[in-house]
Chain A
Amino acid sequence: MTSVVSVDSLCVAYRSGGREVPVVREVSLEVAPGRTLALVGESGSGKSTVAATLLGHLRHGSRVTGGRVHVDGRDVFALPARELRQLRGGTVAMVAQNAGQALTPTMRIGRQIAEAGGEMPVVDLLDQVRLPRPAELARRYPHELSGGQQQRVAIAMAIAARPKVLVLDEPTTGLDVITQRGVLDLIAALRDELGLAAVLVSHDLGVVAHLADEVCVLNAGRVVEAAATRRLFTAPQDPYTKRLLASVPRLDDPGLAVVNEAGERTVRARAAVPDGAPVAVAASDVTVDYGSARAVHGVSFAVRRGEVLALVGESGSGKSTLAWTLAGLRTPSGGTMSHEAGDLGRPAPKRPLALRRRVQLVFQNADTSLNPRRSVGDAVSRPLRFFGTATGRTDADEQARRLISDVRLDPALADRLPAQLSGGQRQRIGIARALAGEPDVLIADEITTALDVSVQAEVLRLLDDLRRERDLACLFISHDLAVVRGVADRVVVLRRGVVVEEGPTEAVFGAPGHPYTRRLMAAALEPDPDAPGLPEDTPEWVDAAGTDGIWTDLGDGHRVRHWQPVNTPVAEGVS
């Protein structure tokens, strides 16, 4: 036997309400030493369950209903407890999805790593995962580290006992794009250095293309396609795989990608903003503080009717704060924000009703944006009645149903509770609720972040349709550059509350002027195994605005904040 991991028609089911619900059906796969296999699928595909079985782990209430899992020649589910413990950590180790929660909060990280066994001193291990000042770091507690550092610690813990197989369960989900790139490069380097076999679980086809040798696509617990990475990405066979691949937005799409049932993708040209469209909302030199911390630092922008402006940045860039301030949920500490119908500087309760309804916010997380105890029809009809759009209860219900069908849902869903809808359906209801105020400004705060890629494509399409139909000014907030490329007319890049670059989408993506923008783009992973690596080394830079002006104007509204290179040695991508 040459493979170090072999799963043979594995079936797993969990008990729910007296019934056995299968989550993994007849899954078979093999991993050879030194190779990396990726398990790809959308939420609920069973990919994490399969990965955990390699360590003999099942979630509470689940059981193996058929098949076998062999790791290093041993039948994992037939091992006695003692040998299973030796297998875990010693032969196969796991890096969990969210290192922030996977590390014990009450133990110093040095001790947690030492506990994992192995002969390597902790300091050497921390050094090996490219963490700076390892001796000092070992004495810290998990909450004193950044997300990227926590993930590196988790990796150090996994490789401590020099296992043969590394299981990586969404190892970079939740990390910022630049941090993610650093962690992925580290994993690739360690894998080659130590000759590990790796099983990578991911929903992100960019990550998979970057790291995997072979790919196994799972859908509803079944393997729908398994192939070498390059073949899968260039010539997918299964319609599901085709749709999945086609749904991923690309950095070089000139417009929004539209995918049909067969998985063929066409790129829809962006709707042109009519000349002389009025400015719907404008912000000038806006500053927002949280206590003594400044979240947004003098940001200015304007959005015209029918235009989509994207605010792009990593977590902590202040982009969501800006959105919430515009929606009247925070009070700016400086600057002005105005709408053609009035001043937006005041919080929502103090704005006149007519102004309030014209600026509407769609939330990031569809799970928490709808009241779980009220029907979705009620969620839409409430603002209709509140804003006086509808005259009575029956009129409101009728209009609510019309709005629900406007967001391409069956109006019969109006009687359902949010829990009875899928994530994508809930997000559409969130959009319908925002439309109930008949707004002319729609603020979309990371509305597709929590969605699977195929659902994301549908929601983006809906948003694009709506702004055409309703001539909306749309402020689109996202951390995902590829998504922004498809929907936005103009882009504003934020870093720590400061705009570093802005301009028309084509101009910014075609010739990014600021090193930060360049680095963001370089770190974005394309779902293409042949995509070039880091195209150029972005220089280390410092902000140079102020001394002689703030902006370098590149024409056509494309401008870049002043910066200058510094000559310090480039640090490894440690976050």
Chain B
Amino acid sequence: MTALDTTPATTAATPAGPHAVTRAWRALRSSRTALVGLAVVAVHILVALLAPLLTSYDPIAGDASQALLGPSPQHWAGTDQYGRDVLARVLYGGRYALGVSVAATLVTVALGTVVGCAAALRGGWFDDLLGRVLDAILSVPSILALLVVVTALGTGPAVIVLAIAVVYVPQVVRVVRGAALAVVPMDYVTAARARGESTWAILRREVLPNITDVVCVEFAMRASWVVLLISSLSFLGFGADPPTPDWGLMVAENRTAITVVPMASLAPIIALATLVVGLNLAADGLAKAWGVDRIREGS
């Protein structure tokens, strides 16, 4: 058989390009759910960035004479008990929620990915011990841990980011470890081991490229949880300090007046819910498009 074998395989039904970005984009385009979700999130980010252009009202300064107004041409969503424009507060409110959530999620997922991969690759006593410690952390309710940290160290954004990382890293580690464990027994990892490659090189070259999809989905998913947790914290009065515009805080402030000015409570609720729905849709869509939904659900 001297002729070179050039026949393309029939199994290659999906003409995947060699680059992860093209692959990701193709998966995205094929999933309407993911596109819708990401679009919703993008709108939220834009609104938060452009808030000063979208409203002329100050989200913090109130006008007592304008308190508790219903929706009107001047105040589309009415005003709250201090006479602050609800719409302005909702538009600005995304800044705090998104800023803190994105930072917290980034830290959490990055840390969780490194530790999870290391646990899967090293195995042995390291994996066992880590599993125990993570289980112990998970056994304390996240809201309690968060409350204690915040009361002790203050409610600054940096503190909240760190506290969330501590609370959610164990869960990310579990998911990533699970995904990495599916890759580690593969023969190409074994081949790299037989070559004598370092753990770090195996992680970077062989394992990470094969779990990027899981990590991305985990990011979207975890971001939605973080947004929920931060808003709950604010609602309980342990998060954003008044008068910072924040959705959770707004609901807490205006809840008692819900029969008088329902929009003051509903507007932040809608904003919050759409953001989280968007994140969840993105996570769902991506997971389905990449076929990683099974690994994730177990978390």
Contact = CB atoms under 8 A, between A and B. Distances in A.
Interface stretch (A117-125, A379-387, A520-528): A379-387
Contact of B9 (A357, A361, A365, A420): A420
B191 A410 contact: no
A372 interface: yes
A419 to B, nearest CB: 6
Interface in A369-417: 369-375, 379, 382-383, 386-387, 405, 408-410, 412-413, 415, 417
Contact of B195 (A348, A374, A409): A348
A420 B8 contact: yes
Given A369-B187, A382-B205, A348 B1 contact: no
B18 A375 contact: yes
A363 B5 contact: no
A423 B11 CA distance: 9
A373 B195 contact: no
B191 A361 contact: yes
A61 interface: no
B191 A433 contact: yes
Nearest to B8: A420
Contacts of B11: 44, 419, 422-423
Given A374-B209, A408-B4, A363 B191 contact: yes
Say whether chain B's binding surface is mostly helix, strand, loop, or mixed. loop
A368 B9 contact: no
A137 interface: no
Contacts of A408: 1-2, 4-5
Interface in A321-359: 327-329, 348-349, 351, 353, 356-357
Interface residues of B, number: 31
A382 B196 CA distance: 12
Contact of A356 (B8, B195, B206): B195
A524 to B, nearest CB: 26
B209 A361 contact: no
B30 to A, nearest CB: 9
A16 interface: yes
B235 to A, nearest CB: 43
B193 interface: yes
Contacts of B186: 368-369, 371
A379 B191 CA distance: 10
Contacts of A348: 193-196
Nearest to A19: B13
A17 interface: yes
B7 interface: yes
Interface string B197-215: 1000000011001100000
Contact of B16 (A353, A419, A428): A419
Contact of B18 (A353, A369, A413, A417): A417
Nearest to B16: A417
Given A372-B210, A417-B18, A425 B196 contact: no
A213 B232 CA distance: 73
Contacts of A371: 186, 188, 205-206, 209-210
Given A361-B194, A370-B188, A422 B10 contact: yes
A16 B13 contact: yes
A419 B12 contact: yes
Given A329-B190, A371-B210, A421 B9 contact: yes
- Listed residue (B7, B16, B187, B205) with the most chain A CB atoms within 10 angstroms of its CB: B187
Contacts of B193: 329, 348-349
A368 B18 contact: no
A428 B4 CA distance: 12
A75 interface: no
Given A16-B13, A420-B16, A461 B1 contact: yes
B124 interface: no
A412 B8 CA distance: 11
Given A371-B188, A417-B18, A422 B9 contact: yes
B20 interface: yes
Contacts of B74: none
Nearest to B23: A373
Contacts of A329: 190, 193-194
B188 A409 contact: no
B1 A356 contact: no
Contacts of A72: none
Contacts of B18: 375, 415, 417
B14 interface: yes
B195 A369 contact: no
A458 interface: yes
B151 interface: no
B6 interface: yes
A349 B9 CA distance: 36
A369 B6 contact: no
A546 B8 CA distance: 56
- Listed residue (A370, A371, A458) with the most chain B CB atoms within 10 angstroms of its CB: A371
8 contacts: A17-B13, A329-B194, A348-B193, A356-B195, A368-B187, A408-B2, A423-B9, A428-B5
Given A410-B4, A437-B195, A461-B1, 5 more contacts: A357-B195, A369-B191, A412-B6, A419-B11, A423-B11
Q: Which 8 A-B pairs have the closest CB atoms?
A: A422-B9, A369-B187, A373-B209, A420-B12, A410-B6, A363-B187, A371-B188, A368-B187
